[in-house]
Structure formats: structure tokens, C-alpha cells
Amino acid sequence: MSRQANIERITKETQIKLSLDIDGTGQSKICTSVPFLDHMLDLFARHGLFNLEVEACGDIDIDFHHTVEDIGIVLGSAFREALGDKKGIRRYGQATVPMDETLASAAVDLSGRPYLVYNVRLPKVKIGDFDVELVREFFQAFVNNSCANLHLNVMYGDNVHHVVEACFKAAARALDTATQIDTRIEGVMSTKGKL
């Protein structure tokens, strides 16, 4: 069973091509014109063991907002498409990841009901020229389009780069668990019979 998706999204603000293989080995080829986001998506692929290719350009002369948010939209859509009817998946996943002084936790439910809980205190507003408020925008767009319930909680952390990186790694590892096929599951992991 192939659990892959190839999505292209073109708007007046952004042009994005994305390829996802959920059952990958963590290989990535990322070029978004937003270097910090490239770094986060690269480690997201590596720690989730997803094969991910992203080619994006957008109106970054204005700011990074449209590009970051739209990549979240496309990545979420790719997960939804690649998972199909979700038969046999574990549905739930969680991971807690340390990054030096930071500890971040992610819990995900691939329930079909999008919701983001974002308890992430960021001690400054920028990492280089990247506005850290866009991290929330990325994850909100991702959950809205993957139809996932995602809880991100940072217990503590002072270095903003470490905080954001721990969130991406924790989310990737939680998604890896939630998307895995469990041969003991008949149909979907729901008493309703549908996710």
C-alpha cells in the first residue's frame, strides 16, 4: 500500500510543490526561500522518518507569513491524502523531546477533527529574520488541513531556536507513531467505524 502524496498549490502569493512518503527513511530535499523553515522541515522529515520534498517560493519581500502558512496548508493536505481512509493506523502518537535546556511534548490524534493546543512560550520574537509567531501559524495551517488534533506543550526552555526545534521534532515523532500501521487493528481505530 502506497502512502504517498504529491501536491501543488499556486496562489497569487505562493507557489508550492510538495511530495510526501509517510513510509520513508527520513530523506528530504527542502527549498522554501525561508532558511529557518528549511531547517525545521529537514529535521521534521528526519525525526518522523518521512521522505519529504518541498519546493516553494512566495512573496517573501513582504514577509515570510504567506509562505510559512501555505507550506503548513500543503503539508497538512499531503498527510490527509497519503493516509487515505486511515485503515489500520494507530491514530494516536506522542513524543517528548529534550533539546539542551528545553523540553517539548507533542500529542497527536488523527481523528478527522482539527484542533491545535499551543502552549509554547517563545522568549523573543525573531530567530534571525524569522518571526517566531509564524511557528503557530504553520502548525495551525497543518492541523486545519490534515484534520489532526495536535497538542504542543513546552515545559521549559530559554533558547528560542531550541524551543522551536524541539516542537518540530516532537511533532514529527508523534506523527510517526500515529501514522504507523498496526496489523491488530481491523478497519479504523474508532468505535464509530470512521475517522
Q: Is position 185 within any domain?
A: no
Q: Are 145 and 72 in contact (CB under 8 A)?
A: yes
Number of domains in the chain: 1
pLDDT in tens, 56-113: 999 999 899 999 999 999 999 999 999 999 999 999 999 999 999 999 999 999 999 9
Domain that holds residue 100: 4-179
- For residue 127, tell me if it sits in a domain: yes
Specify the CATH number for the domain of residue 97: 3.30.230.40
Residue 106 lies in a domain: yes
Residue 189 lies in a domain: no
Indicate the burial class of 96 (C-beta count within 10 angstroms; 0-12, 13-18, 19 or more). Answer: middle
Is 186 within a domain?
A: no
Amino acid in position 114: P
Instruction: Please state whether the predicted TM-score (pTM) of the whole model is above 0.85.
Output: yes
On whether residue 174 sits in a domain, the answer given is: yes
Task: Say if residues 33 and 58 touch (Cβ distance below 8 Å).
Answer: yes
